[in-house]
Structure 1
Amino acid sequence: MIACCIGRTTLIWTIASIVERLQRLYASQATAEQMTWHANHDGGGSMCHPSDSKAWRHFDRTHPDFAAKPRNIRLGLCTDGFAPHGQYGCAYYCWPVILTPYNLPPDNGDP
């Protein structure tokens, strides 16, 4: 679906819903195994993935029901150009918004 507002700065472009996209991550066995990789990962004291961070462990302690199931998807919302207090420097804006699954390993072995 593509929705555009004439005279406004809104453009929404989606091919599939977020639920369909997340379900596709578990469609193949290889990707499904990678999505639960973080549950058995041991960083060895170094930070190579968000699952090695104090924030990840704090989230696990705060939400034990969610953390108990390694198949639950942890999403990160990434954006550029965000101004939380309305102090904008331009008359126009283009903000890419990316939703990233943090469950995947840092390197899946592809060259």
Structure 2
Amino acid sequence: MFGLTGLFPIIYTAVISFMDWDTIRNTGEYLGWDNFQYVLNDRQFWIALRNTFSIFLLSSVPQVIIATFIAAMLDHNLRMRTFWRMGVLVPYVMMPVAVALIFSQAFR
């Protein structure tokens, strides 16, 4: 099952990446490493890669720092500790429950 759903698409994509693929005719001409050379020499590729890593860093680093701070605060002796912990956990529980209720009503 893994080979069919996981491994085959990866191998197929790797094979197609070496070709000038025509999606309408479902055929392609073998180009070798030309596609990769074209992409690596394209200025927009490097701008897009830089933007992707910038967004990753600007979103992940603050989230990890804030999450660590919140976890440390919830680990200390707080007043109404259960209330604050539930305030953090309830949003994660509510969404699947809401989706389940909507789908159970829609597919009755």
Q: TM-score, normalised by structure 2?
A: 0.24
Q: TM-score, normalised by structure 1?
A: 0.24
Which structure is larger by alpha-carbon Rg, 1 or 2? Answer: 2
Q: Which has the higher contact order (CA 8 A, sep 6+)?
A: 1
